[in-house]
Amino acid sequence: MAKIAILGFGTVGSGVYEVLNRNAASVARRAGEPVEVKYILDVRDFSDRPDAALFVKNIDVILADPEVKVVVETIGGTRFAYPYVKQALESGRSVCTSNKEMVATYGAELLALAKSHNCAFLFEASVGGGTPIITPMHQCLAANVITEVEGIVNGTTNFMLTKMARENMGFDEALKIAQQLGYAETKDPSDDVDGRDACRKIAILSSLVCGHHVYPQNIPTRGIRDVTVEDIQSADKLGCVIKLIAWMKLLPGGGVAAGVEPCLVPKVNQLAGVDDVFNAVKVKGDMLGDVVFYGKGAGKLPTASAVVADVVDALKHGVQMHDSLFWQPAQPAEGMLTDPAPAAYYVRVEGAAPAVVEAIYGKGRLVAEHFDGCAYLVEKADASALEEAARKISAVGGSVKLVLRRLPEEE
């Protein structure tokens, strides 16, 4: 029998416990032996539960027990999770986690620790929740050179944008509903709405594609706070929807570009129809072309099911998982990983007449006119041209309120 420990008994940790109990027979069949939770680490009081004997408050109890083969980390953040995971790996125990912040920050170090101590460090649930994306990328697509990844990887903002589009609802009202339904944090939803959650996820996928660590702080990141109902209506006129897109691509010279930003997504694009709390990641391989992974990006049991699948892999294959799941340590890049390629851009400007906006941005089309400004689709521009245009708009007393890149039509 394989004994495991769960660190953190919140939404995901309690979900892992539930999945292991409810699906004990199928998990045992896949793992080749029964899997039993021996310890649950949590500082809170669970003495009124029938399984209260499982709960401990000190990591040392777990590390001192040679029966524990796999540690599941669902604490979140890095303050406690990172040192606990390091200790577990250094003791030769495999670790399975859903912690995107820890993987995005320390992934290369923890992968190297797992290899050197003959165990596994697995994190399928850190990007797609219950939707598999890590394993398909490093196993099923192993014959492909992956050149691009783009997708909707944050269910909260996708739910909000769907609400705004369907019900002509403003950002604040959509956020309030997301919070009431438990999709967004009540105290501080900024990780979701400002794009940091999506940034960590695309940093992990970028590291996997590039083979070296890509840091979140090098990825330009914008959220959806500035998107209005009027922008969504303007997008519709252009045959597009607005989605928060996390993306990365390999550049011709061997570099990498990545970003998180609200984009105009043409309705013919497969990502355009991904609504509510669903996520989708499109991966471009040189042999296969485009493949899309679609499913619920969050939720207690979907996320827990991905963690339990990792537990099975850790028990069956151990360190062999890192024959393909691995990336090298690297220093943070200097500056941001911006894409130099020109694209079409939607800009919303206040305090400048349409004729002035057209004269400054050049070839394009007027999308909407407001009493205090306009929305304009620039046919082609790069980052430096957009910066120069914004400076000129400011010089004539206006301001650029929103810039959205338009994804290409090709599908």
List the catalytic residues: 201
| CA dist list (Å): 250 to 53, 105, 117, 123, 269 | 51, 21, 32, 23, 21
For residues 70 and 5, what is the distance between their CA atoms, to the nearest angstrom? 7
CA dihedral 391, 397, 402, 406 (to 10 degrees): -60
Task: State the pairing for strand pair 94-97/121-122.
Answer: parallel
- CB-side neighbour CA atoms (13 Å) of 11: 13
For residues 173 and 175, what is the distance between their CA atoms, to the nearest angstrom? 5
Asked if residues 94 and 121 have their Cβ atoms less than 8 Å apart, the reply is yes
Category of 386 on φ-ψ map: left (φ > 0), alpha (ψ -120 to 50) or beta: alpha
Return phi, psi of residue 378, to 5°: -85, 125
26 Cβ contact partners less than 8 Å away, ≥ 6 residues apart: none
